[in-house]
Structure 1
């Protein structure tokens, strides 16, 4: 073995001994570090601080972005939940409104003891007569015939203009003219009698019916209810039409007239009742008498 090789081996052994000694020295429980240890610790700490600061900064940015993403997702979920809640609330309100309307129609149907009520639903408004005609889902197969009165829980809305097998067209009161006049009675409580007249049409400007009296009456009060009289053979007696809004005379000052506000809202129609009068015809009465 050469001198240099022995020297290198000796140096390595001495270094290992010193290293083991230093490790053992550093592992001892001591209150204070040596100057060398303090220097190494401070150097390493400073190096870690410089090296890890960008890492922490990037980590914080990534964390904030991830948190913002979660906040956005939660916000979107809350918006969806709010939209669903509003939709459900709207559906509940519509169902409540629908239920009240159906209950009112049922109550009105039960009250029509003198007639044969046929419940129906409005399914369309006629394009050519959007404001004064509607189509219902009942027709001849259900007993609906031309000229039958049509009402809601609030009052009369018109009559059957034409009837097919399964649907019918209703002419609303705002489409009435002198050819579709209605014989009516107006209560006069102070005289225990009725004022008589005819509904002759509809005033589009006032959105009210025009009532012409057959005589002059002094005791007609405003907001008095107008009912069908049953005369004329088309409309049954006692169907509410509207209330008196104004009493005046025609342009010549000869005929007493009144403007009548409709009891039913003909602009918002859903469930209606077709009133079958169930009257016995004159021919049937005569045939019964001959027997």
Structure 2
């Protein structure tokens, strides 16, 4: 039995020695200068490469997927910011257009009032229309100036084109404007406007009615020999309580002799537009010392 253990021990030692020699030989063969790889090396490298394809590529795809998701979040955030910026731009563009339009309108109105001030020593209060009463019997406007702004009953209201009406009621913050299109000669409460021709102050008449059908004013009580003619610009001749001198009313479109042959009647096309109200002026005359 002892001899058997010795024999087996010698064989085991012999096998270990042979394996060690082969390992050293293999290492030397591998590390030495060679033009090609040995088949064990090729097998080992192919195995490693195959394993890398199996494990590394899916891992790369997953890493790329997470990166793409992060990029999509960034793109979504940038898109939201661009939408907000576009909304702000659209809002600012609208505000700019409104301001530009209002600035041009104010420039036109300022030119108008300066031209009027050169002729008459009146004060012009710029006002906005708050509401419109389109009732055929009582057509009125409500403006955003009132008693606190110095507005009084009887003051004239004009546009940059011509006479619009007269202040009929005043509250603290607003005023009611009665339009000249409500004038009716049969109404005892409808006061006429004394008027003349801008080019010839020898012309005199009273505008006291408005024709709803033809959309024109009627100027009556014109003397037979007054030199009024078609195309004349008619303006107010002046009134101590209302309708200051020089307010443009309209142009003559027709002149006819009255049935009795003593006076003439002129048809006047109003200069003011009685629609699409934007900006008006309240005319204040200088107060005359009592």
Q: Under TM normalisation by the shorter chain, which class is it?
A: 0.5 to 0.7
* 1:117 maps onto 2:128 in alignment: no
Q: Distance in 2 between matches of 1:180 and 1:10?
A: 142
Structure 2: tracts of 5 or more residues without a match? none
* 1:237 maps onto 2:245 in alignment: yes
Larger Rg: 2
| Structure 1 residue 171, shift from structure 2 partner | 2.5
1:1-291 correspondence to structure 2 within 5 Å: 31-110=35-114, 111-112=116-117, 114-122=120-128, 124-125=130-131, 132-139=140-147, 141-178=148-185, 179-187=190-198, 194=203, 196-198=205-207, 200-201=209-210, 203=212, 208-215=215-222, 219-221=229-231, 225-230=233-238, 233-243=241-251, 247=254, 258=267, 260-263=269-272, 266-270=275-279, 272-278=280-286, 280=288, 284=290
What is the root-mean-square deviation in Å for CA atoms of aligned residues?
4.4
| Structure 1 residue 58, shift from structure 2 partner | 4.0
What is the TM-score when the length of structure 2 is the normalising length?
Answer: 0.68
| Structure 1 residue 165, shift from structure 2 partner | 4.0
What is the TM-score when the length of structure 1 is the normalising length?
Answer: 0.68
Report if the CA contact (8 A) 1:119-1:273 is conserved: yes
Q: Distance in 1 between matches of 2:169 and 2:182?
A: 14
Aligned length: 270
Q: Distance in 1 between matches of 2:14 and 2:109?
A: 114
Structure 1: tracts of 5 or more residues without a match? 285-291
Structure 1 residues 265 and 62: CA distance shift in structure 2, 3 A: farther
